A = this chain, B = another copy of it.
């Protein structure tokens, strides 16, 4: 049980050290914020939340930490088309991997993992075929569906 600090997060410090990074208060605070939510936070969202508890942590540090976390593959960075990047922990509450439904009207994001079974098959098949065909080494994918969410569908006829 590597800890020795009171906060007992399962090995964040070790993971940072393993990548040659230091584990600091700001980084801890940012990770805790990400762990606490299921939303898709922007850098500023995170900054504001962190700021309530640690008013001296700057937006710059948020950006830098997010960059480090992304590079360590601990968070994923998304663009939903609203002009700012959004982030979420990759390993968070059983949501290991999921895709998004993006409402083009209200910008609501719906995560889903439910129907991935069929998709996974398709993806594996497709990725394999693409890799061979183009000699392209696929390491990641992005799948998003755009449309109108339940609410906006109703409001459309108004």
A: which residues have CB within 8 A of B?
A: 79, 81, 101, 103-104, 110, 112, 114-115, 118-119, 121-123, 125-127, 129-130, 133-150, 153
Q: How far is the CB of A118 from chain B (nearest CB, A)?
A: 6
Q: How far is the CB of A31 from chain B (nearest CB, A)?
A: 23
- Asked whether A148 lies within 8 Å of B122 as measured between CB atoms, the reply is no
**Chain B residues with CB below 8 A from A153, complex form:** 135-137
Quickly give the copy total for this chain.
Answer: 2
**Chain B residues with CB below 8 A from A150, complex form:** 134-136
- Asked whether B137 lies within 8 Å of A145 as measured between CB atoms, the reply is no
- Asked whether B112 lies within 8 Å of A134 as measured between CB atoms, the reply is yes
- Asked whether B130 lies within 8 Å of A112 as measured between CB atoms, the reply is yes
Can you list 30 A-B contacts with CB-CB less than 8 angstroms, sorted by A residue number? A79-B79, A101-B130, A101-B136, A104-B139, A104-B140, A110-B134, A110-B136, A112-B130, A112-B133, A112-B134, A114-B129, A115-B133, A119-B126, A122-B123, A127-B145, A130-B145, A134-B149, A135-B150, A136-B145, A136-B150, A136-B153, A137-B153, A138-B146, A139-B146, A140-B147, A141-B143, A141-B144, A141-B146, A142-B142, A142-B145
